[in-house]
A and B are shown apart, each in its own frame.
Chain A
């Protein structure tokens, strides 16, 4: 199981803080495509991805138990 965390505008778009998917073995890029299929409004949003609390590449492969986060442009400070 992969846990996907949503924040800020993405959280409001999905209506939830997190979701679980049975997607171990897919890449971060493939996960993004699957999420866009589920949430077409996500298309066109500028997004980075984190896996287990570190920024990830689209080519990184997800493993069972990974925590993924969708990171829209940050605006701290």
Chain B
């Protein structure tokens, strides 16, 4: 199992929790981000994620390194899924272990914030009457579903 990876298959979060667990860890935080049906009153049918895979995996590893440098004694593992995801599917998993719980919570939240800043992954929302790349302000004409 690669600890920092872009995957195309469903994510099993337990693999990532197991990866970071060590005898010196007193806490593991396991965050899973899921596909949400409703965003600001608009219903999503499904999501399509795309990534610049080699760079995205490097940036996930960079985030892991930042965490281990910022919070002593932590270990992290992160995976993000791409392709078509349905409502409630896991899009991202972040596991962090540390000697104490506070650090594990903080470092885990840091990871998701950094993912949204620096990792080249893009999400497209597909609705019943259209679609849009998120992060791209130019809304497509309605009815342009593939």
Residues of chain A whose beta carbon lies under 8 Å from any beta carbon of chain B: 5, 7-9, 11-12, 45-46, 50, 53-55, 69, 71-77
Contact = CB atoms under 8 A, between A and B. Distances in A.
B138 interface: yes
Given A50-B55, A69-B52, A75 B120 contact: no
23 contacts: A7-B51, A9-B122, A9-B138, A11-B50, A45-B136, A50-B55, A53-B52, A53-B55, A69-B52, A71-B120, A72-B135, A73-B135, A74-B118, A75-B134, A76-B49, A76-B80, A76-B92, A76-B115, A76-B116, A76-B122, A77-B33, A77-B115, A77-B121
Contacts of A75: 116, 121-123, 133-135
Contacts of A53: 52, 54-55, 58
B50 A8 contact: yes
Q: Binding site of B, secondary structure by majority: helix, strand, loop or mixed? A: mixed
Contacts of B136: 8-9, 45, 72-73
Contacts of A8: 50, 122, 124, 133, 135-136
Contacts of B121: 74-77
A77 B117 CA distance: 10
Interface residues of B, number: 29
B25 interface: no
Given A77-B91, A77-B92, 19 more contacts: A7-B51, A7-B120, A9-B133, A9-B138, A11-B50, A46-B137, A50-B120, A53-B52, A72-B133, A72-B135, A74-B120, A74-B135, A75-B116, A75-B121, A75-B134, A75-B135, A76-B80, A77-B115, A77-B116
